């Protein structure tokens, strides 16, 4: 893995190749993403940009990521303009290189891209109140509507089988068996918790395969910190982190947002007594999401939303545990047991969530606008 100093050095070196107005910029690491390397680029005259190295560990075809990103941002800009919005604030804007190319491929093969920094916004790792989470629901609901007429089959699958939970289970079983860095012995209980739930892993993929649930254009990584809110009004401004926009199910987007934001604790909280499922937060997100998108969801899709919450929590926890067993090759980690802590955290949340299945179902039905 490339070190931090080396990344800064490359960032410094490639900066003049991008079409930015000033000659001198400071570079600082930015944000709390687990995948890409993100830098804030600022000049004395006040120009700011986001420079990112797309993670080669996560994305094996960064050209596909950029192709999707260009298509999706252009479609979103069209929708934003048609409702008299501000496309430079409500959508990501790609800054090309001086030679017109939309991104840079560095000598080691890694892809770097630049976007306009969207000023006067905040992103949260935990919703401070229900209205913040409701706004995030609105943002993803609007995102779903804005891309509803976009042909999903023209987008690349930037990570094949990304939310194919049975496939994630297969990779998890492989990692348990290989036990590449001799860690399986230390976490048998949590491994068992995940394996005990294997039977439910195909609930969504089964309905996708038999046509009960339609393929949609989805974001697939709907964490609260992938939405920027206006720092004054706290209204949702822009959905970011478009690397995994591809064909998927609405249940994935709804579910992943719930997994992250309807927990009373951060994803890497170690003290399991602090981790609970929050039904009020679930309600807030469901209301925001369904107010915006409810009219276009089929009855089967509405029914699938609580299943999505369960599935995304199960799947993400299993992905953390798989990465722990493989020696931390995918997610950024800050300590040796970071991925294990996250996997235990997600399992704790999942067990609590399992008590609320009926309440979740009642909530999505009562939050859906009547036709
Ligand atoms: P990752 O895939 O690693 O999560 P993101 O694209 O989500 O990377 O970026 C990481 C963080 O950087 C975001 O959570 C957000 O706080 C910030 N960020 C990214 N793009 C922008 C932007 N255009 N304007 C302002 N902040 C941004
Ligand atoms: C990653 O990129 P970021 O930090 O927004 C991951 C998601 C996980 C999430 C868990 C491309 O999201 O799938 O749910 O971490 N993104 C990718 O925090 O794997
Ligand atoms: Mg992100």
Q: Which of 31, 32, 35 for mutating ligand 2's site (highest number of atoms within 8 Å of CB)?
A: 35
Ligand 2 contact via 290 beta carbon (within 6 Å): no
What gap in Å lies between CA 178 and CA 149, rounded to an integer?
A: 44
Question: What percentage of the chain exceeds 70 in pLDDT?
Answer: 99
Looking at the domain assignment, is residue 305 inside a domain? yes
Do residues 17 and 100 share a domain?
A: yes
CATH number at 232 reads 3.90.1200.10
Looking at the domain assignment, is residue 67 inside a domain? no
Whether pLDDT at 2 is above 80:
no
Q: Which of 240, 242, 316, 332 for mutating ligand 1's site (highest number of atoms within 8 Å of CB)?
A: 240
CATH number at 110 reads 3.30.200.20
Do residues 267 and 313 share a domain?
A: yes
Q: Look at the chain and count its residues.
A: 371
Ligand 1 contact via 226 beta carbon (within 6 Å): yes
**pLDDT score, position 32:** 83
Do residues 251 and 348 share a domain?
A: yes
Domain that holds residue 311: 130-367
pLDDT band at 290 (very low <50, low <70, confident <90, very high): very high
Q: Are 282 and 355 in contact (CB under 8 A)?
A: no
**pLDDT score, position 217:** 98
Do residues 100 and 174 share a domain?
A: no
Domains: count for the chain: 2
pLDDT band at 371 (very low <50, low <70, confident <90, very high): low
Do residues 50 and 134 share a domain?
A: no
Whether pLDDT at 5 is above 90:
no
Looking at the domain assignment, is residue 85 inside a domain? no
User: Among residues 364, 154, 162, 157, which one has the least CA distance to residue 254?
Assistant: 364
Average pLDDT over residues 41-60: 96
Q: Is the pTM of this model over 0.75?
A: yes
C-alpha distances (whole Å) from 78 to each of 74, 89, 140, 295 are 6, 13, 17, 21
Do residues 55 and 165 share a domain?
A: no
C-alpha of residue 38 to centroid of ligand 3, in Å: 10
Do residues 111 and 141 share a domain?
A: no
Do residues 214 and 266 share a domain?
A: yes
Do residues 50 and 175 share a domain?
A: no
Rama region for 316: left / alpha / beta (φ>0; ψ in -120 to 50; rest)? alpha
For 303-313, the pLDDT digits (tens) are 999 999 999 99
């Amino acid at each position: 893995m490339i070190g931090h100093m080396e990344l800064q050095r490359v960032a410094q070196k490639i900066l003049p190749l991008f079409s930015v107005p000033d000659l001198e910029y400071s570079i600082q690491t930015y944000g709390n993403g687990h995948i890409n390397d993100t830098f804030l680029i600022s000049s004395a005259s006040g120009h700011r940009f986001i420079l990112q190295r797309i993670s080669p560990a996560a994305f094996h075809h960064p050209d596909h990521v950029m192709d999707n990103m260009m298509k999706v941002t252009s479609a979103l800009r069209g929708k934003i303009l048609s409702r008299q919005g501000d496309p430079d604030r409500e959508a990501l804007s790609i800054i090309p290189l001086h030679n017109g190319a939309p991104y840079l491929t560095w000598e080691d093969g890694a892809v770097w891209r630049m976007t306009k920094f969207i000023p006067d916004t905040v992103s949260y790792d935990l919703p401070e109140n229900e209205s913040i989470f409701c706004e995030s629901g609105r943002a993803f609901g609007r995102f779903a509507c804005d891309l509803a007429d976009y042909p999903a089959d023209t987008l690349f699958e930037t990570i094949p089988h990304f939310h194919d939970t049975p496939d994630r289970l297969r990779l998890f079983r492989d990692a348990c068996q290989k036990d590449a860095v001799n860690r399986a012995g230390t976490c048998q209980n949590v491994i068992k918790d995940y394996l005990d739930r294997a039977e439910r892993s195909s609930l969504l993929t089964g309905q996708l395969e038999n046509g009960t649930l339609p393929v949609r254009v989805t974001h697939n990584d709907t964490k609260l910190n992938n939405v920027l809110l206006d720092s004054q009004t706290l209204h949702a401004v822009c959905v970011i982190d478009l690397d995994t926009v591809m064909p998927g199910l609405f249940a994935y987007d709804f579910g992943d947002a719930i997994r992250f934001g309807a927990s009373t604790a951060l994803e890497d909280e170690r003290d399991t007594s602090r981790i609970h499922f929050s039904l009020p937060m679930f309600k807030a997100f469901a209301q925001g999401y369904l107010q915006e998108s409810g009219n276009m969801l089929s009855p089967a899709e509405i029914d699938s939303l609580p299943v999505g919450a369960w599935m995304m929590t199960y799947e993400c926890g299993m992905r953390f545990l798989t990465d722990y067993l493989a020696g931390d090759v995918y997610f950024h980690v800050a300590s040796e047991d970071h991925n294990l802590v996250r996997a235990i955290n997600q399992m704790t949340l999942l067990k609590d969530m399992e008590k609320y299945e009926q309440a979740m179902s009642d909530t999505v039905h009562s939050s859906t606008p009547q036709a």
